[in-house]
């Protein structure tokens, strides 16, 4: 079984500074990376289109797990991926949140839910139908809730919709802790309960980038292009009963909102690792939630936290950056570099990189190549020998404030310089 598609099929893995940062973080005992070091090394952030293409190249060409087979099939993967965290002999279903005893396959209690309904582009299972059995988007599901969801797009409902409570949740208030359903087919809506909204959203984001048409790099099978949209007519057009070259699902705007509102939790991270261990590819939006904001040009819904000062301190003689004043979106603040590097330009043109904790891995949250302003250039040292760098903070750098997983880095193109956020306090250092 191939455990990772990255670096195979002659794809070059170019050296880059971020892996070095990952090792530094790991060496410091601060993180346990889930994605292998370098898994995202070939991301190209020169434009959203380049980011999409490079991300696709990282996650494509995965190993297809048979949907149903006497050998390892999707039941085997899903019973591990969707295992009840409270009991390894049971599964926890996606919509009803009900625990069921594992039976090694489906039964009258649970079955397999195509979160992107297979009717929208890939209804007929076959050896060449990769999305049909893609476990990043399949979830074990209570049979009755799966039937109710049918192939309704994901969208928020209103209080007049029908309520589908979760196990142990409350009932009677909208939206409460429940799922909600109204209408049917592409005129309907299925609103997932709050703790699974991000999960299903990230599955759809994954499919959109994983499937871009073309052919599988190993098997040569043609693949569809799966596309997220807010246009229900397009969804209808891909519901033909046949496998299509293009499939549409949505609603994109709803899914992005859900993605931001329900960030990955420990269970979803574990799920990503399980599927990765079988298919050899990861859902990058679980590892790097911020990539969705860049790809679909959405602002990250965050706010700046307090700033402190300090340094990474791992290799001695490290210049110390500190923030002067309080950074704010859309404004410029000053970075004071107490021990200036010998080459001033070495501290400009920062890219922003995120270290996920406890997710592991490192992710860009923006870069100058995406037309974001270049970080400041200092012209002179002050009486204390310090440089002051004016740093404009565009709104897109709100990504900086994402503190869910504990740490942030800022690197220059050579991998020098760093910004750390830990417990809501940013500290500045130099690698």
Under rule CB under 5 A, how many of the chain's residues touch Ca ion?
Answer: 8
Options 73, 212, 230, 236; binder of Ca ion; rule CB under 5 A: 212
Options 225, 231, 237, 309; binder of Ca ion; rule CB under 5 A: 225
Options 199, 223, 244, 290; binder of Ca ion; rule CB under 5 A: 199
Q: Tell whether residue 244 is a contact of Ca ion (CB under 5 A).
A: no
- Which range of residues in 43-51, 254-262, 306-314, 369-377 is near Ca ion by CB under 5 A? 254-262
- Which range of residues in 122-130, 145-153, 163-171, 196-204 is near Ca ion by CB under 5 A? 196-204
Q: Of the two residues 199 and 244, which places its CB atom closer to Ca ion in the complex?
A: 199
Strand partners, 228: 249
The residues in 255-274 that bind Ca ion, with binding defined as CB under 5 A, are 262
- Which range of residues in 99-107, 198-206, 317-325, 354-362 is near Ca ion by CB under 5 A? 198-206
Q: How far is the CB of 201 from Ca ion (least distance, A)?
A: 9
Q: How far is the CB of 262 from Ca ion (least distance, A)?
A: 4
Options 117, 121, 198, 361; binder of Ca ion; rule CB under 5 A: 198
Q: Of the two residues 225 and 257, which places its CB atom closer to Ca ion in the complex?
A: 225
- Which range of residues in 107-115, 206-214, 336-344, 375-383 is near Ca ion by CB under 5 A? 206-214
Q: Of the two residues 76 and 225, which places its CB atom closer to Ca ion in the complex?
A: 225
The residues in 32-51 that bind Ca ion, with binding defined as CB under 5 A, are none
Q: Which residues bind Ca ion (CB under 5 A)?
A: 195, 198-199, 208, 212, 225-226, 262
């Amino acid at each position: 079984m191939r455990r990772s598609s990255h670096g195979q099929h002659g794809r070059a893995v170019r050296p880059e500074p971020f892996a070095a940062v990952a090792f530094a973080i790991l060496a410091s005992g601060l993180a346990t990376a889930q994605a292998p070091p370098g898994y995202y090394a070939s991301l190209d952030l020169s434009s959203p289109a380049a980011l999409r293409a490079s991300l696709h190249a990282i996650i494509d060409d995965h190993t297809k797990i048979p949907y149903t087979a006497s050998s390892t099939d999707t039941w085997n993967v899903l019973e591990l991926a969707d295992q009840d965290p409270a009991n390894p002999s049971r599964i926890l279903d996606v919509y009803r949140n009900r625990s069921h005893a594992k039976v090694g396959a489906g039964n009258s209690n649970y079955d397999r839910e195509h979160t992107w309904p297979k009717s929208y582009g890939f209804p007929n299972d076959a050896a060449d139908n990769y999305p049909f059995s893609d476990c990043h988007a399949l979830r074990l599901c209570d049979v009755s809730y799966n039937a109710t969801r049918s192939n309704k797009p994901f969208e928020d409902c209103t209080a007049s919709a029908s309520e589908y409570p979760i196990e142990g949740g409350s009932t009677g208030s909208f939206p409460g802790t429940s799922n909600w359903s109204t209408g049917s087919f592409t005129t309907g809506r299925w609103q997932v309960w709050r703790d699974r909204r991000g999960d299903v959203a990230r599955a759809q984001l994954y499919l959109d980038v994983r499937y871009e048409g073309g052919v599988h790099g190993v098997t040569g099978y043609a693949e569809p292009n799966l596309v997220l949209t807010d246009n229900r007519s397009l969804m209808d057009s891909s519901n033909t009963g046949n496998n299509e070259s293009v499939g549409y699902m949505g609603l994109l705007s709803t899914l992005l909102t859900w993605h931001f509102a329900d960030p990955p939790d420990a269970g979803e991270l574990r799920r990503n690792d399980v599927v990765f261990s079988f298919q050899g590819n990861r859902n990058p939006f679980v590892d790097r939630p911020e990539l969705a904001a860049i790809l679909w040009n959405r602002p990250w819904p965050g706010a700046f936290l307090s700033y402190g000062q300090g340094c990474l301190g791992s290799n001695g003689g490290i210049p110390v950056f500190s923030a002067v004043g309080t950074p704010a979106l859309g404004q410029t603040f000053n970075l004071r570099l107490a021990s200036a590097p010998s080459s001033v330009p070495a501290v400009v043109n920062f890219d922003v990189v995120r270290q996920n904790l406890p997710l592991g891995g490192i992710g860009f949250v923006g870069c100058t190549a995406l037309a974001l302003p270049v970080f400041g250039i200092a012209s002179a040292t002050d009486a204390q020998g310090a440089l002051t760098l004016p740093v404009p903070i565009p709104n897109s750098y709100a990504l900086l404030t994402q503190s869910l997983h504990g740490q942030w880095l800022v690197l220059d193109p050579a991998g020098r310089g760093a910004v750390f956020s830990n417990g809501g306090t940013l500290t500045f250092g130099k690698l």
